[in-house]
Amino acid sequence: MSKQEIVEAVAKKTGASKAATGAVLDALVEYIKKHGNVQWPGFGSFVVKKVPARTGRNPATGKDIKIPAHKVIRFKPGKALKDAVNK
């Protein structure tokens, strides 16, 4: 599902405009970028984790490469979402 499809589905369900719905999703992304963690009761939580730098290996050449430190985002679904999906 694309962002546009999500915006259309939420706008249709809530009666809000597509522009307002898109702005809410954009604000959520900005908040995660700025603060790192978001907990949404019943839905789940987004957590930003730091991955330290490490040495990897290029499988084609076998040479060692340095992988820089970076951040990754993880999503952990809440119980209500898990229950809804498994029904």
Q: Which residue stretches of the chain have pLDDT < 50?
A: none
Domain 3-85 = CATH 4.10.520.10: yes
* Predicted local distance difference test score (pLDDT) of residue 1: 87
User: Environment class of residue 43 by beta-carbon count within 10 Å: exposed (0-12), middle (13-18) or buried (19+)?
Assistant: middle
Secondary structure E strands in 1-87: 38-40, 44-51, 54-57, 64-67, 70-77
Measured distance CA(9)–CA(18) in Å, rounded: 9
pLDDT in tens, 18-38: 999 999 999 999 999 898 899
